[in-house]
Structure 1
Amino acid sequence: MKVLIASDHAGLELRQELVASLKERGVAHDDVGPVTRDSVDYPDFATRVARAVAAGEYALGVLVCGTGIGMSIVANKHRGVRAALCTTEFEARMARAHNDANVLCLGQRVVGAGVGRAILEAFLSTPFEGGRHERRVQKIREAESQG
């Protein structure tokens, strides 16, 4: 599994914590920034991660901004992306298990470093359950093609 992670300026510190967590766990990943707190446009970073995940270049993506809302909106505009804004470990587990979410969105102003790490851990360690949930994920795919 390889993960692509990015943030905007408002998510920089939490992203750095999450990168440290990925390193500690030995998870292959690429961090595409930004590297400073200078203002950047979150859609640019969300699009980069979403396109790479949708193309199959990365198994999962992680996006961080101030609230996680903007990143999740942009990421979900991309066909094949199921981005989930999570504020708890439970939400992260359910996003993976029931929705086969492939992009985790977090808000630095919403969750602290410890909770953020725990959410990431839950997201990475929970497999998609398939079964009855596969039918529902297929309906998400169909909705994408209907615009």
Structure 2
Amino acid sequence: MEDNLIAPCGMNCSLCVAYQMKKGDLKKQGFNRKYCPGCIPRGENCTHMGDRCELLKNGRVRFCYECGEFPCKRLKGLDKRYRTKYHMSMIKNLQALQKNGMVAFLESEKKQWACPKCGEPICCHNGLCLHCDLEILRENRRYRWNEEDA
């Protein structure tokens, strides 16, 4: 995991299905999904928050926790959706980054999101390792986290 894949809003882009699809070039395997290199590598300050936040839009902060309104109403809403659907919290990510720094945060993320079979990151959007679990995704393209994983 790389520090430039941590978006200002706390999203770990290396866990995103669009990033993982790009990294594995899964269109070649019949998956017609949008690719994304991550917010920072593609020159976006944050695709989730940058359209409404002047500080992010203009690149005046690297992370939302640097703002006096952290966590803002929009981030709270986004965080609730991600906690409920995708088993991750952007606010917790930002708090861990602020408290422990980038190196410790990336180590923690690597351990937390590692596939038990191969060690590659699992996808936060569906709970699958796109190296080991492609057949599950092929059978159900809208697959999202098993109930027992909730």
Please confirm whether the aligned pair reaches a TM-score higher than 0.5, indicating the same fold: no
TM interval, shorter chain, is: 0.3 to 0.5
Q: Report the structure number with the largest CA radius of gyration.
A: 2
Of Structure 1 and Structure 2, the greater strand share is in 1
The TM-score, its normalising length taken from structure 2, stands at 0.32
The TM-score, its normalising length taken from structure 1, stands at 0.32
